Amino acid sequence: MPNPALTSLTTSLLLGATLAAAQTPIVLQHDKRPPFLKTEADGSVSGTAATPVAQAFQKAGIPYVWKYESAARQVAQMQSGARVCSVGWYKTPERERYAKFSKPISQDTPMIALANSSFQVQGKADLDQILSNPKVTVLVKTSIVYGPYLENRFARMKARRIATYEEFGGMIRLIHLGRAQITFIPIEEAEYYIDKMGYARNDFNVIRFADMPPGEKRYIMCSKSIENEVMERLDAAIK
């Protein structure tokens, strides 16, 4: 027969541990990817992905601290079960195996092809036609998710794939130099870097596709160690 005193003590200890965890700030991991994620002078983070996350944590009354980590390090921390969340990630079946996801916090604009100014498309832009041309060079950033629509086409394209670890500013520079002909990027991100790096908009050819789906949704991705109650409070606070 269960000992009531022992049961009460166990319950109290579990409750105390839960309350202590809830009062410990969650580490909000972030990369540097303006305009989605921008580090401010005071160490805070803003941007179209970061700002709604900060607002949700504040509204939900959940303490947090910002911490810069590379994307690879963020995943490693997530998989280790550390008490962390990451800001502005896409949700994929692979990531759902080791992480929890909030409601969407934002959504990207549809992807565009940012091309060297010498790369011209005759008539209506056709993505499959461009990617079926073995003379076309496509610059693809390693270790990021482009969404199923583009990923499926990359897998079967005949165009030459040039993989890079460059950040997006560096990729745009390579396109401008003609090291590759096109890359794929949300338009707001392309415009940010073009302006920041001092290029003119007509230094590039922006190609839009009528059948390109809406941009991917971004989420708060949290370690499995984050309590469901915390995730529910975040979801309730997300606009």
For residue 174, is it within any domain? yes
Please check whether residues 116 and 186 belong to one and the same domain.
yes
Tell me, yes or no, whether 46 and 69 share the same domain: yes
- The two structure tokens encoding residue 47: 């941007």
**Which pLDDT tens digit goes with each residue over 157-216?**
999 999 999 989 999 999 999 999 999 999 999 999 999 999 999 999 999 998 899 988
Would residue 3 count as lying in a domain? no
**1 falls within a domain:** no
Percentage of the chain modeled with pLDDT above 90: 75
What does residue 107 show for φ and ψ, rounded to 5 degrees?
Answer: -140, 130
Domain contains 8: no
Q: Which residues of 131-158 are buried (b: 16+ CB within 10 A; e: fewer)?
A: beeeebbbbbbeeeebbebbeebeeebe
Q: Does any domain span residue 132? A: yes
Total domain count, the chain? 2
Domain that holds residue 25: 15-108+217-237
DSSP-assigned beta bridge partners for residue 88: none
Whether the CB-CB separation of 77 and 146 falls below 8 Å is answered with no
Question: Can you give the CATH number for the domain in which 63 is found?
Answer: 3.40.190.10
Is the domain of 201 the same as that of 224?
no
Q: Are residues 203 and 129 in the same domain?
A: yes
Q: Is residue 64 part of a domain?
A: yes
Following DSSP, what letter does each residue of 135-201 receive, concatenated? T-EEEEETT----HHHHHHHHH--SEEEEE---HHHHHHHHHHTSSSEEEEEHHHHHHHHHHTT--G
Angle at CA of residue 190, ends 186 and 191, nearest 5°: 115
For 36-92, what is each residue's pLDDT tens digit?
Answer: 999 888 888 999 999 999 999 999 999 999 999 998 899 999 999 999 999 999 999
Residue found under tokens 């969340």? 85
Residues 118 and 179 in one domain: yes
